[in-house]
Structure 1
């Protein structure tokens, strides 16, 4: 089970228990408690000695909570506009099929490695959790033929869909990101939507000593900068625009101001280059 997926789950658990929560995920803390590597991690901000002043469990976890809320809203808007297929690329411990009020005829496809999906299934089964809509796990590595695996289990390329690549692309080499975005374009009908997270920094290592990365290394032993791909990033938003998608790129801080809570810019800020991209495929 990947530690980064568990970090996001722990952050969602902390967010869930806040009095001013932006997103609710009742399953998140159960994933954290089921994984031996992180049973000592907090699932409530009250369990953190320095509370919201902690760069990891305060500011960074709040970032993940805000991202969860913004992408929840994106999925709900897209399904309200007619999409009935949701595709989670690198689904990890995402529980949107269980916790969002999606249309009853919606199908959620969860693409990730078999081990990740098996761990998730084990925890959810132990909780007797029932998805609100049809949920189709697709156990395949994104480096393999995930498009073939997706269509083999019923994904309809002729019907509108909504896709999430949440916290995924900057772990991939640039050519792999290009292939993924090209494949999404190839598989989607007009009216489909895609949201993904990008990083604009020219030099990721310039932020090695930032409070967020330092605290993540020190407190839970995850060196995110070792996991991020250091090669040049493609202009995926530009590529989609050239293919007839409408795209918009936003700083997370815009949503902090919109919702009245979340991280704001700081000096030496590892979040400064993060962008959330929202795209919709227009009719030809």
Structure 2
């Protein structure tokens, strides 16, 4: 069988490799009998990009299994995060929300793999080159979304709200907003602008879920196997990609703006779902917080 032409680069630079890492973790998780989430498209993104074409996409490709710090422990983290946020979005849709906005959508395929109401729209906001790469892979697969999918090309470090409304987003309608794996990579000012835009565009009944990081990490945490293995095996320095400046308190900001917020650790969801990373000494995940807000 002839090998299909590989789509041009678009996720091989900057924070793009992190999207590929999450896709590889989702691909591996998909083939587990006890999978927290399944994504049939994920392995195709991994194979299509130059930098990740040789990465594992199945548990049999990971000799140490879940003991592997990269595709085992970090993979469990990504799978757990995916499932928790899937359930949050579906809960919002169950309550009547008919707009979902994925901020920094990356290689997210929730528009395709979740059981959405027929009249729901999923807006995917990300850089044009990432969306173009994603679309080429999806076209090659002849993928069909389960909801109305609207890609919105915009840089989240700048003014993206106008592009979203121009794409058909309705500010007067409640929305389920999601910023998965995004805010730690943004400069503090961009995170503050993003929160203000979500507040401005988020009608009553809207929800927002996002990942935040406390910091800075200690030297022992920075030397944890999750970070060192990603650098050594993949050439991806996750710590260097995180914005180094002081982080804003977005949760306090949203609370002051009238949102109700709850803050969780990933380990709360490990207990809830019965599978996921458990705390370790000098844990790379100890600084992570998953925040859920409702207006």
- TM norm structure 1: 0.97
Unaligned runs of 5+ in 2: 1-10
What is the rounded CA distance, in whole Å, between the counterparts of 2:198 and 2:137 in structure 1? 30
Contact 1:205 1:225 in 2 (8 A): no
What is the rounded CA distance, in whole Å, between the counterparts of 1:203 and 1:92 in structure 2? 26
What is the rounded CA distance, in whole Å, between the counterparts of 2:82 and 2:110 in structure 1? 10
Contact 1:163 1:193 in 2 (8 A): yes
SS at match of 2:270: helix
Q: Deviations over 1:36-93 (max 9, x none)?
A: 2111100112211211111000000110000000000000000111110000000000
Structure 1 partner of 2:6: none
Is 2:228 aligned against 1:214? yes
Q: Deviations over 1:99-122 (max 9, x none)?
A: 000111000000000110001000
Structure 1 partner of 2:267: 253
Unaligned runs of 5+ in 1: none
Is 2:249 aligned against 1:235? yes
What is the rounded CA distance, in whole Å, between the counterparts of 1:214 and 1:236 in structure 2? 29
Is 2:30 aligned against 1:20? no
**Residue-pair matches, total:** 281
Q: CA RMSD in A?
A: 0.9
Structure 1 partner of 2:199: 185
Structure 2 partner of 1:8: 22
What is the rounded CA distance, in whole Å, between the counterparts of 2:132 and 2:219 in structure 1? 34
What is the rounded CA distance, in whole Å, between the counterparts of 1:44 and 1:112 in structure 2? 27
- TM norm structure 2: 0.94
Structure 2 partner of 1:51: 65
What is the rounded CA distance, in whole Å, between the counterparts of 1:204 and 1:10 in structure 2? 28
Contact 2:158 2:190 in 1 (8 A): no
Task: Report the CA distance between 1:145 and its aligned residue.
Answer: 2.0
Q: 2:213 aligns with which of 182, 193, 199?
A: 199
Task: Report the CA distance between 1:205 and its aligned residue.
Answer: 5.3
Mark the CA change 1:204 to 1:118 in structure 2 (over 3 Å): closer, same or farther. farther
SS at match of 1:277: strand
What is the rounded CA distance, in whole Å, between the counterparts of 2:220 and 2:258 in structure 1? 35
Query: How do 1:110-121 and structure 2 match up within 5 A?
Result: 110-121=124-135
Q: Deviations over 1:202-234 (max 9, x none)?
A: 336552210100111111110001100111111
Structure 2 partner of 1:99: 113
What is the rounded CA distance, in whole Å, between the counterparts of 1:184 and 1:167 in structure 2? 17
What is the rounded CA distance, in whole Å, between the counterparts of 1:110 and 1:140 in structure 2? 10
Q: 2:283 aligns with which of 260, 265, 269?
A: 269
SS at match of 1:170: helix
Is 2:144 aligned against 1:130? yes
What is the rounded CA distance, in whole Å, between the counterparts of 1:157 and 1:40 in structure 2? 43
Is 2:94 aligned against 1:80? yes
